[in-house]
């Protein structure tokens, strides 16, 4: 038998008469701490300052909802088949928060955190930004967090997010670097490539020292809320059957006729 490593978790534990979360009795949190601050406590191991709370709530609120996305459509289709398992429909919706969306929050946070982690404090951030752009350009890879297919000029969420971060003293080197990356990318690639919402959120989450490996988790936890709201609407006024019948009819039509 191999040598055993001790199992240990510091997130929370429960006994017959207590649940303790990050050192706080859950009973003391109920009614005293709001959901966003509870999420901060879970992730950071301590309650937020009021500044941190404002900023953390701002980035998670931004991620809750984006209308009728592939993720909400998947959740609604799944609910149609398994209405007894709301959790399955939410899970289906979450599964679409991968490389093309939630993953970009993670990707830009990784870039910012690893570059700034390796750079001396006096480093020229514009040069760091140029390096990032150049490396992606030569590898023909998209820079995450920059540009937006729909909001071509400016993503309206971005200036607001940066404003909230600055107003709360949480607009530091990560935010500066992501902006410089947007600038340098626009220059190098001859088109407007402003920071988009995932870029701003990846930068601000990095200011809050949330490790890049869980930054897409911010999108996942927030979007879970939005998915429940979409499913509530689906319960009352289902769209899935109509979408299904239209798609099925059209997709099979030509094949049927041959």
- Range 104-133, binding its own copies (CB under 8 A): 106
**C-alpha of 218 from chain center:** 4
The size of the interface with its own copies (CB under 8 A), counted in residues, is 129
Window 176-205: residues binding its own copies (CB under 8 A): none
Select from 111-119, 126-134, 169-177, 225-233 the region that touches its own copies (CB under 8 A): 225-233
Please give the backbone phi and psi of residue 24, each rounded to the nearest 5 degrees, phi first: -105, 135
Tell me how far apart the alpha carbons of residues 99 and 114 are, in angstroms, rounded to a whole number.
Answer: 19
- Burial grade of 121 (CB within 10 A; 0-12, 13-18, 19 or more): exposed
Residue 140 in contact with its own copies, rule: CB under 8 A: no
Long-range contacts, 136-144 (Cβ 8 Å, 24+): 137/188, 137/189, 143/108, 143/181, 143/185, 143/193, 144/103, 144/104, 144/107, 144/108, 144/111, 144/198, 144/199, 144/202
Of 46, 49, 82, 169, the residue at the interface with its own copies (CB under 8 A) is 82
Q: Closest separation between CB of residue 187 and its own copies, Å?
A: 24
Q: What is the SS3 assignment for 167?
A: helix
Residue 160 in contact with its own copies, rule: CB under 8 A: yes
Tell me how far apart the alpha carbons of residues 127 and 141 are, in angstroms, rounded to a whole number.
Answer: 19
Q: Closest separation between CB of residue 118 and its own copies, Å?
A: 16
Window 47-66: residues binding its own copies (CB under 8 A): 53-54, 57-58, 60-62, 64-66
Q: Closest separation between CB of residue 25 and its own copies, Å?
A: 8
Window 9-48: residues binding its own copies (CB under 8 A): 9-21, 26-27, 29-31, 33-39, 42-43
Q: Closest separation between CB of residue 2 and its own copies, Å?
A: 6
Closer to its own copies at the Cβ: 59 or 129? Answer: 59
Residue 236 in contact with its own copies, rule: CB under 8 A: yes
The alpha carbon dihedral of 165, 166, 170, 174 has a sign of positive
Q: Closest separation between CB of residue 191 and its own copies, Å?
A: 16
Q: Closest separation between CB of residue 108 and its own copies, Å?
A: 15
- Please name the residues in contact with 66: beta carbons below 8 A apart, sequence gap of 6 or more: 226
């Amino acid at each position: 038998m191999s040598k055993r490593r001790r199992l240990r978790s510091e997130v929370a534990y429960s006994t017959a008469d207590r649940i303790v979360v990050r050192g706080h009795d859950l009973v003391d949190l109920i009614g005293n701490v709001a959901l966003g601050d509870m999420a901060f406590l879970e992730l950071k191991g301590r309650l937020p300052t009021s500044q941190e709370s404002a900023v953390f709530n701002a980035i998670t609120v931004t991620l809750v909802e984006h209308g009728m996305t592939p993720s909400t459509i998947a959740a609604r289709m799944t609910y149609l088949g398994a209405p007894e398992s709301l959790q399955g429909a939410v899970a289906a919706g979450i599964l679409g928060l991968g490389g093309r969306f939630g993953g970009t929050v993670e990707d830009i946070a990784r870039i910012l955190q690893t570059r700034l982690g390796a750079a001396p404090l006096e480093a020229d951030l514009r040069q760091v930004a140029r390096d990032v752009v150049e490396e992606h350009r030569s590898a023909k890879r998209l820079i995450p967090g920059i540009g937006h297919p729909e909001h071509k000029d400016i993503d309206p969420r971005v200036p607001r997010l940066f404003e909230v971060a600055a107003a709360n003293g949480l607009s530091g080197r990560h935010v500066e670097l992501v902006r410089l990356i947007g600038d340098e990318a626009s220059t190098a690639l001859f088109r407007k490539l402003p920071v988009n919402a995932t870029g701003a959120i990846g930068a601000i989450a990095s200011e809050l020292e949330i490790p890049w490996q869980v930054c897409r988790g911010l999108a996942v936890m927030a979007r879970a809320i939005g998915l429940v709201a979409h499913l509530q609407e689906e319960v009352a006024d289902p769209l899935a059957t109509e979408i299904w019948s239209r798609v099925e009819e059209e997709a099979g039509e030509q094949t049927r006729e041959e």
